[in-house]
Structure 1
Amino acid sequence: MNQALLDLSDYIATTLGEAVTGSELKNDELVIWAKADTLLKVLKFLRDNQNCQFRQLVEQTAVDYPSRELRFEVVYCLLSLTHNQRIKVKIAATENVPIESVAPLFSSAIWYEREIWDMYGIFFANHPDLRRMLTDYGFEGHPLRKDFPLTGYVEVRYDETQKRVIYEPVKLAQEFRNFDFSSPWEGIINLPGDEKAEQEKEGGTA
């Protein structure tokens, strides 16, 4: 058990009070839960406090849990070079309530939040340039949501007659089939090539 992280967890919980709703040590890394409306306060404290100094946002991502009332978890991964420590800050979110952008605190969040908006549809309020980043401007839906179909909703192709790129409903090349995933060798009595072995055997005994 990492005592330094335990002490840090107690210090953060004591200092921030109700702004932090929980914490845990997972894979020798501290994870804390924050409220969405106090997120900027928590991250600013972790960045500026001398006992923390988590001054780099090295990653920001999200996880989709469709069965939950607040279906998304937004995760902020922070690094302190001074103390050689990492910390994760998590908040619960929904697609209908915007989350305050942390770009004023960490400039790297500009790209991370654009990607999360594109892939999950989580809106970040006061983001300086919230646009799709990995999909096209006219793309429908958000591909990393668990309820997004594997085929997507539309397909893109170049139309020779119209001389432009067009969108069309997805057309599958074959009918959907159910596979039992059993071994293709099970139940086969004669394997490919057995006839040659039989012929060689008969030729050898002749």
Structure 2
Amino acid sequence: MTTLSDLGAHIKGAMTSAVTDVSVGVGELTLSVAADQIIPVLTYLRDDPRCKFTTLIDICGVDYPERGKRFDVVYHLLSMHLNQRVRVKIETDEQTAVASAVGVWPAADWFEREAFDMYGILFSGHPDLRRLLTDYGFQGYPLRKEFPLSGNVEVRYDPEQQRVVYEPVKLMQAYRNFDFLSPWEGIPAELPGDEKAGRPDQTG
């Protein structure tokens, strides 16, 4: 059986200029790839007899806002023929589009739309790059590090206007009941009714 190190060396040897780094950690093979070479690398991983990564499991994004190229685009592939997995990573920024993998795996369609919707990552050559999970007219990208945890607007149905309305987020702290039993507040050391649990026996 081919080890992950041998497989990584084989891929690196075949795609020397495209694969910039190969690492094995926690039982996972990870390839760092030049962004402009992502489609040739993915095609090679799918078609090479020693790879046969014919199944695209996922495409996701990671945000590192302190970097010039703030996004990692991460592809997870599976070879059911060889019972192997591989992770492929590239770097990009907010303006530079990544070549769409839809031509290699049609399943990349909605994965890339999700990455665009959540991070604002652009994919050139995508057949229908538009938001997938958020509402029409949504502002911002929810999985970027600077996006507020509470969001920018809240949505509710207004019975008087008989339509959905968008309003700025309002946190009504004055109406919260701090009973210290809510999981948001944490559980106190001594619960009501347990007052006698820690007392020494009074019976003598």
Q: What TM-score bracket applies, with the shorter chain setting the length?
A: 0.7 to 0.9
Give the distance between the partners of 1:164 and 1:29, measured in 2 at CA.
Answer: 49
List gaps (5 residues or longer) in structure 2.
175-184, 197-201
Q: Give the structure with the larger helix fraction.
A: 1
Query: Which structure has the larger Rg over C-alpha atoms?
Result: 1
Structure 1 residue aligned with 2:136: 137
Structure 2 residue aligned with 1:68: 67
Structure 2 residue aligned with 1:116: 115
Letter of the aligned partner of 1:35 in structure 2? A
Give the distance between the partners of 2:110 and 2:186, measured in 1 at CA.
Answer: 44
Structure 1 residue aligned with 2:166: 167
Deviations 1:143-185 (A, max 9, x none): 111111011111111222322111111111127xxxxx89744
Give the distance between the partners of 1:90 and 1:59, measured in 2 at CA.
Answer: 12
Deviations 1:167-206 (A, max 9, x none): 111111127xxxxx897449xxxx87769xxxxx9xx9xx
SS of residue in 2 equivalent to 1:143? coil
Change (3 A) 1:174 1:13: same
After TM superposition, list the pairs within 5 Å mapping 1:140-151 onto structure 2. 140-151=139-150
Give the distance between the partners of 1:93 and 1:133, measured in 2 at CA.
Answer: 21
CA shift, 1:43, in A, is 0.3
1:88 aligns with 2:87: yes
1:79 aligns with 2:52: no
Give the distance between the partners of 1:10 and 1:194, measured in 2 at CA.
Answer: 65
Give the distance between the partners of 1:36 and 1:45, measured in 2 at CA.
Answer: 15
1:21 aligns with 2:20: yes
Structure 2 residue aligned with 1:33: 32
TM-score, normalised to structure 1, is 0.83
Deviations 1:52-76 (A, max 9, x none): 1111101111111111221111110
Letter of the aligned partner of 1:152 in structure 2? G
Letter of the aligned partner of 1:159 in structure 2? D
TM-score, normalised to structure 2, is 0.84
The answer to which of 94-103 and 156-165 deviates more is 156-165
SS of residue in 2 equivalent to 1:18? coil
Letter of the aligned partner of 1:45 in structure 2? Y
Letter of the aligned partner of 1:99 in structure 2? V
Q: Percent identity?
A: 48
List gaps (5 residues or longer) in structure 1.
176-180, 196-200
CA shift, 1:87, in A, is 0.5
Once superposed, what is the RMSD of the aligned Cα atoms? Answer: 2.5
Change (3 A) 1:28 1:194: closer
Structure 2 residue aligned with 1:57: 56
Structure 1 residue aligned with 2:182: none
